[in-house]
Chain A
Amino acid sequence: MAAGIVSLSFADRAGHAAHVLARNPVSAAAFLFIPALVLLAALAPWIVPYDPNATDLDHVLQGPAAPHWFGTDQVGRDVLSRVLIAARLDLAIAFSAVILSFLAGTFVGGAAAFFGGVTDRVVGRATDVLMTFPLFVVAMAMVAALGNSIQSIVVASAVVNLPFFVRLARSEVSVLRSQQFVEAARAGGNSNLQILFGFMIPNALPTLTVQVSTGLGWAVLNAASLSFIGLGIRPPTAEWGIMVAEGAANILSGFWWLAIFPGAALTLTVLCFNLLGDGLRDVIDVRTRR
């Protein structure tokens, strides 16, 4: 079997996860919130009360109250509808970016550690150099180079996540390399690639999953920060970073709801991804079980 180190039944694992989460209610809340958020984002076009881009000049800058629960902005757009629709875009960007960096990072880092030698040294050095720059600055430069589009935000957010996946896959695989099941797999006549993808990466997956969760939060943060400073996505697209940037201009006139609601949505989303990561770490990592 590929997952050869621990052989637990699904019930055992679920039971253990429930046990760990029961002792950490905050993580448990995050486990529930994320699926709810994804569902809300997926259904957003059908449940928003108003057209997120429809202006209504008779009802501009209205405070949060029925029928506009989050108020309206300077051209009368419904803030709640925009916050919900924006969740779609921000989550889609984050998921695409993290899938990209997960695949690329795991492959590059895993292969580097597996084959060792020059490959490993080049990958290690390149990651070190990338980590020397503040990653947000790298993302800024990348969006400038690739042009203002959603694709470039995705690529930039993937690149800032990449070194973490490379390093993690690299360290995981180099630990697994000396495990006996790898030797057994080799003796069984598996090729290098079969060993790497069939035996090592599946065993590194739990640890990588933690990084996926944290990476998702980091990608949302990164994408919103880029659009906040005016790179990538352009108004009037509903996006949390842009909404906060537009709301910031009005906050000193007392119209706080324009910036605070998208800002809160953003913070809550990143918070839940981070808590989810922490919770997963507690479930997976035996060493932190106390």
Chain B
Amino acid sequence: MPAEAKVMTRNSEIWRFILRRLLGTIPLLIGVGVFTFVLVRVLPGDPAAYYATGPSVTNEDMAQVRTALGLDRPVIEQLVRYFRDIASGDLGRSLVTGQLVSRDLVERFPASFELTLVAMILALLIAIPLGIVAAIRAGSWIDHIVRLIGTLGVSMPAFVAGILLIFIFYFKLGIAPEPIDRIDPFMLKPPSVTGLMLFDSLIAGNLAAFSSAVGRLLLPALTMAIIVIAPLMRMTRASMIAVLGSDFIRTARAAGMNWWTVYVRYGLRNALLPVLTTIGLVISYQLGANVVVEKVFAWPGVGSYALNSLLATDYAPVQGYVLLMACVYVVINTSIDILYALVDPRIRVQ
């Protein structure tokens, strides 16, 4: 059957693309590992000094600890050992919390994930309609104002935006809850199933907890949304302008179709792919801003954890955090590429 054979080759084409893309991440991940390894070597302080502390420590004790940690071995051997540790999930121990870094990160990651996810959704909900309007009215004063507002958002440091939002919505208007933590401290926390407060409270059927969690999430998420609206909006605008200039849109218009069909069903659908790629790029910026936003809102995520550890010169958590962020970035961008290839057959052939 020729039709069946066609489907077969297309499927194998997709799988081949996915495999190639996954293999392509391996050198990247190795580079990431080497970078974090070097990072801890250049950070000030002797790792052995952390383990052998106390007034009676002698140089022999230190030397013993160094041997136990493998610090007297050649650098290459240390690097191999480091990769082996990462592979087995051993990221060392935090001196501040006294727990395994891997455990701390797993505990705190959902908070950061929830915040970033909601922020990205908010940003898209704001950026895409604005981008469409700017594209339809390209060159008009609406276009200029939309661009100016977007640029203002990207120019405003996340901490300034966060403090401004707290000042307006918590202090002046009194409609936002105090900017601390993910949920009212006097409220019973829903049992952790997914780690995401919004889902957990819904699963537990605890609507009071849900609304408290939404209230506390809204301002930090909005802060993180503001800083990425501009690039998303610009990409939507540019790709919308390109699509709106194409023949099939002219035909749809000439056929007298309504604006929803022309702009959204035909226009937006075709314009969204480049926006998808932009999400992959701006997510990295958002992950970096996480640190600042989590500090401003006392949000118990991995960003504030890394920052507190860094300020306390406790470097194992910092190393673990940097590694985690890089992996998250690689996973997101690889998924986006694969998604892109599934939607757009032209990509797979390259």
Contacts and interface: CB of A to CB of B under 8 A. Distances in A.
Interface of A: 24, 26, 125-126, 128-138, 140-141, 144-145, 147, 217, 221, 224-225, 228-231, 241, 244-245, 247-248, 251-252, 254, 256, 259-260, 263, 266-267, 270-271, 273-275, 278, 290
Contacts of B306: 137, 140
Contact of A133 (B42, B313, B325): B325
Given A134-B325, A266-B157, 7 more contacts: A125-B27, A132-B31, A133-B284, A140-B306, A141-B43, A145-B42, A259-B163
A248 to B, nearest CB: 5
Interface stretch (B95-103, B146-154, B197-205, B267-275): B146-154
Given A125-B31, A251-B166, A251-B167, A225 B157 contact: yes
B307 interface: yes
Contact of A129 (B35, B39, B296): B35
7 contacts: A133-B326, A134-B329, A136-B292, A140-B307, A147-B44, A231-B311, A274-B151
A254 to B, nearest CB: 7
Contact of A137 (B144, B152, B160, B325): B325
A141 B288 CA distance: 12
Contacts, number: 143
A242 to B, nearest CB: 11
B213 interface: no
Contact of A270 (B43, B155, B171, B322): B155
Interface of B: 27-28, 31-32, 35, 39, 42-44, 138-139, 144, 147-148, 151-152, 154-160, 163-164, 166-167, 170-171, 284-285, 287-292, 295-296, 306-307, 310-311, 313, 318, 321-322, 325-326, 329-330
Nearest to A256: B167
A132 B167 contact: no
**What are the 5 closest A-B residue pairs judged by CB atoms, nearest first?**
A136-B288, A134-B288, A129-B31, A271-B155, A263-B160
Contacts of A252: 166-167, 170-171
Contacts of A244: 157, 159-160, 163
B120 to A, nearest CB: 14
A189 to B, nearest CB: 39
Contacts of B288: 134-137
Nearest to B290: A134
B322 A229 contact: no
B177 to A, nearest CB: 13
A252 B169 CA distance: 11
A26 B322 contact: no
Nearest to B152: A271
Contacts of A138: 322
A18 B139 CA distance: 17
Given A135-B284, A259-B163, A274-B154, A254 B171 contact: yes
Contacts of B157: 221, 224-225, 228, 241, 244, 263, 266-267, 270
Nearest to B24: A128
Contacts of A26: 144, 147-148
Contacts of B147: 26, 278
A248 B296 contact: yes
Given A248-B296, A290-B139, A141 B163 contact: no
A134 B318 CA distance: 13
A273 B157 CA distance: 14
Query: Among A125, A144, A256, which residue has the most Cβ atoms of chain B within 10 A?
Result: A144
A128 B28 contact: yes
A275 B289 contact: no
B28 A278 contact: no
Given A137-B291, A252-B171, A274-B154, A132 B28 contact: yes
Contacts of A267: 152, 155-157, 160
